[in-house]
Structure 1
Amino acid sequence: MTASDETAPAQAETRTLDEAQVARLEQSFRSWMDASRRRADYASRRRLWLIFLLLRSTGARLGEVLGLDPTRDLDLDSERPTAHFSGAGNNGEGREVPLPTDVARALREALADPTLTPDAAKLFDMDQGHVRRKFYERAEAVGLPKELASPSVLRRSRARQLMRQDVPLPVVQRLLGHSSADLTAAFSDYSDLEAGTIVEAYLKREERRKSSARNRFFGAVSKVVSGPVVASVEITSLGGFKVTSVVTRESVERLGITPGVLATADIKAPWVQLSAGDHEPLSSAANRYPAIVRRILTGEEQGDHVAAEVVAELSDGTMLAAVITFESVRRLDLAIGSPVWASFGAFSVILNFG
């Protein structure tokens, strides 16, 4: 696909697949592959399935996937499996895109099969026209319009999926290899009906969050330390802050939590503790950050002298809300502009993926 392909306002390119349709299309490839009667047919269909998985999970261009050399461009054995796409976008510097656990596993198994292709470096070396025709056939086999299986639609669908998951626009831009955020925004444009539906869902979610987690960090998993029962998971936020959470080891395995996986860390306001002053306090809390008080909300006018909400700003602009007692505000002598340390324990962090 060329740059003009992405910016052209063709009607077909405004269409996307929802998650259910993506699942149907993937199942179509799987069933077609498993139904092969000849080894040569199975090998060809499996290669097409792998190409689909890469397009579906990375949002890459078809030409980028077909140009991958698995022996050089795929890192499948590290804790953070990635695909390296070189040249296109990002000022020609190339980009590393994290691979989901299931996709990395499928690729490892394929590369370990010597009968799949004589030369592993050419695993994805297939004609673009042939790939597109087979993709169209797989869509029609499960009752989908064939144009929905276009690699450009898969790419657009991945962009929309990431943005629906609150992945910041610059991060989506980097993953897709776009030269500007404007292109990413246009590429993932929504119709009026879609935009209204998304805003409505967003507002409902925000209403739910008002009564639960008020504080959120977005970033990527940077470290996982597993124990016999629980594991420590560290997320590095976009602002560079480290957030540590403790989850069960079973959750790590079930959710595929590995370095590089995108995640959000939510912390309820009552779980955030504040300490006054510039100096870092001695504390057992795993997460401690210097901040400045920006807002203090009390119910004093209504005669409520029990609780108060204090909102403090971290150095990257992140706002942390803490619900503490009215007496604590007085005792700590908190005021707008006061330096504080905000802290919370690892067991107070709720991790969300996808």
Structure 2
Amino acid sequence: MKISARNSFEGTISALSSGPVSAEVEISTAGGDKLVATITQGSVQTLGLAVGKPVVALVKASNVMVMTDGSGVKLSARNCLTGTVKKLAQGPVSAEVIIALPGGAEIFASITRDATTELGIKEGVAATAVIKASSVIIGVKN
């Protein structure tokens, strides 16, 4: 499968909480990271999702926000993954930030160049990737 989403996390479903319209799916990766996705009940049924099932979680880099000082901040976003900025590639308008997580995974974020300056983003700085659960797409292998 070739896909334009820069972030791809293989893992297994560690929790599944269903409601009448949507479901919350928790995915645990081999590196110990957890991602939460909210998807429709129709998708749960179509994909045959259940606890223990292997899945792939996809997130576009443009759906990843970056935070450098989260002390005292509470967010509604379910996914806050903290690591270290591994690479910063600056363009004239936007920048790509790669955050290395402690478990070995990397998260790609596409943010504005001005934001990198305002947040003090540079290689080696601690940073948190913030991803809304509704931005996580789940796939299964046939």
TM-score (ref. length: structure 2): 0.93
Q: 1:337 aligns with which of 120, 124, 128?
A: 124
Higher share of residues assigned helix: 1
Output the CA distance in 1 between the equivalents of 2:55 and 2:85.
Answer: 27
- The residue number in structure 2 matching 1:323 is 110
Which one-letter code corresponds to 1:314 in the other structure?
A: L
Output the CA distance in 1 between the equivalents of 2:104 and 2:116.
Answer: 22
Which one-letter code corresponds to 1:229 in the other structure?
A: V
Q: Percent identity?
A: 35
**Displacement of 1:281 after TM fit?**
3.6
**Displacement of 1:224 after TM fit?**
0.8
Q: 2:30 aligns with which of 217, 222, 238?
A: 238
1:272 matched to 2:64:
yes
- The residue number in structure 2 matching 1:295 is 87
- 1:35-46 to structure 2, matched below 5 A, reads none
Q: 2:94 aligns with which of 284, 299, 307?
A: 307
- The residue number in structure 2 matching 1:247 is 39
Is the contact made by 1:278 and 1:290 (CA closer than 8 Å) also made in structure 2?
no
Q: Which runs of 4+ in 1 moved over 6 A?
A: none
**Displacement of 1:278 after TM fit?**
6.7
Is the contact made by 1:270 and 1:322 (CA closer than 8 Å) also made in structure 2?
yes
TM-score (ref. length: structure 1): 0.39
Output the CA distance in 2 between the equivalents of 1:226 and 1:257.
Answer: 11
Unaligned segments of structure 2, at least 5 residues: none
Is the contact made by 1:275 and 1:281 (CA closer than 8 Å) also made in structure 2?
no
Unaligned segments of structure 1, at least 5 residues: 1-201
**Displacement of 1:254 after TM fit?**
2.2
Q: For the aligned residues, what is the CA RMSD?
A: 1.4
Higher share of residues assigned strand: 2
Considering only CA atoms, is the larger Rg found in Structure 1 or Structure 2? Answer: 1
Output the CA distance in 2 between the equivalents of 1:258 and 1:329.
Answer: 39
**Displacement of 1:238 after TM fit?**
0.6
1:228-253 residue CA offsets vs partner (Å, 9 max, x unmatched) = 11111111111111111111111112
| Cα 1:276/1:293, change in 2 over 3 Å | same
Is the contact made by 1:309 and 1:324 (CA closer than 8 Å) also made in structure 2?
yes
1:38-71 residue CA offsets vs partner (Å, 9 max, x unmatched) = xxxxxxxxxxxxxxxxxxxxxxxxxxxxxxxxxx
Which one-letter code corresponds to 2:69 in the other structure?
A: G
Give the count of matched residue pairs. Answer: 141
Is the contact made by 1:245 and 1:351 (CA closer than 8 Å) also made in structure 2?
yes
1:331 aligned counterpart, secondary structure: helix
Output the CA distance in 1 between the equivalents of 2:73 and 2:139.
Answer: 29
Bigger relative contact order, structure 1 or 2 (CA pairs below 8 A, ≥6 apart) = 2
